[in-house]
Amino acid sequence: MDSNDWRVTITLPSPAHASQAHRAFSEHTVEADVRGRLGRDIAVGSGDHQVFLYAGTEVAAREAERVAHDVLGQLGIDAAFELHRWHPIEEEWERPDVAMPHTEAERQAEHQRLEDAETAASLGSGTAQWEARAELPSHREAVALADKLRGEGRPVIRRWKFLVVSANDEDDAKEIAEQIRREVPRGATVRAEASGVRLPFIPF
């Protein structure tokens, strides 16, 4: 399966119903039916009360939804259905009617809107939404780098050989991580990632 950008979310009355539906979809019914008519595979996932059907196109997802509705009807199970598609810039599932950016200018504008929203969330909550993390080869090198970053006004938490530098958004975290990579010795591990953890209580 080349992509799974479309998802049908099926919410069931109970975990037992979700397990029963997942077995029915995974064993043969949905996959065989949709594959036979559309030539596409449907990936099946599940949660406590939900089953997810992933497809590469809207047509395949809607067909999987129809077949799943019929299957659950035969089993006498009531369920709620929702259709979403993956938004590559928002990095979350959105309704099909949410417009996707098509031009580079639209993608840049959408990306900037997301960065602005992350920054607003960071400043409004007092919680860094993103962070740059680094593991240095030695304690001495970690202390030296932490002192340097603090001297530049960066909020830094150090735990032995580990550093965490809070960032307001993804771009900020990537910029900090790139700066650290230029300054750390070979053997150091540096990455930018979403945080959501209120500093200074950073688990390692």
Would you place residue 112 in the very low, low, confident or very high pLDDT band (cuts 50, 70, 90)?
low
How far apart, in Å, are the Cα atoms of 115 and each of 112, 124, 178, 193?
A: 5, 14, 18, 14
Out of 48-52, 90-94, 107-111, 182-186, pick the least confident.
Answer: 107-111
Give the pair of three-digit tokens for residue 202. Answer: 């950073």
Interstrand relation of 6-11 and 162-167 (parallel, antiparallel or unpaired): unpaired
Which helix or strand (DSSP H or E) is residue 34 part of? helix 29-38
Which numeric CATH code is attached to 6-94? 3.30.70.600
Taking CA atoms, 13 is separated from 49, 54, 103, in Å, by: 7, 21, 42
* Most distant pair of Cα atoms in the chain: their distance: 67
> What percentage of the chain has pLDDT greater than the value 90?
9
Does residue 91 sit in helix, strand or coil?
coil
**Closest by CA position to 53, among listed 77, 13, 24, 14:** 24
Q: Do domains 6-94 and 122-194 have the same CATH topology?
A: yes
Architecture of domain 122-194: 2-Layer Sandwich (3.30)
Contact present, 48 and 58 (Cβ < 8 Å) = no
Domain ranges of the chain: 6-94, 122-194
Cα separation, 194 vs 89, in Å, equals 14
Give the pTM.
Answer: 0.48
Backbone angles phi, psi at 3, to 5 degrees: -155, 160
Q: Among candidates 91, 96, 93, which has minimal Cα distance to 114?
A: 91
DSSP helix/strand/coil, 172: helix
| Of 31-35, 103-107, 139-143, 167-171, highest mean pLDDT | 139-143
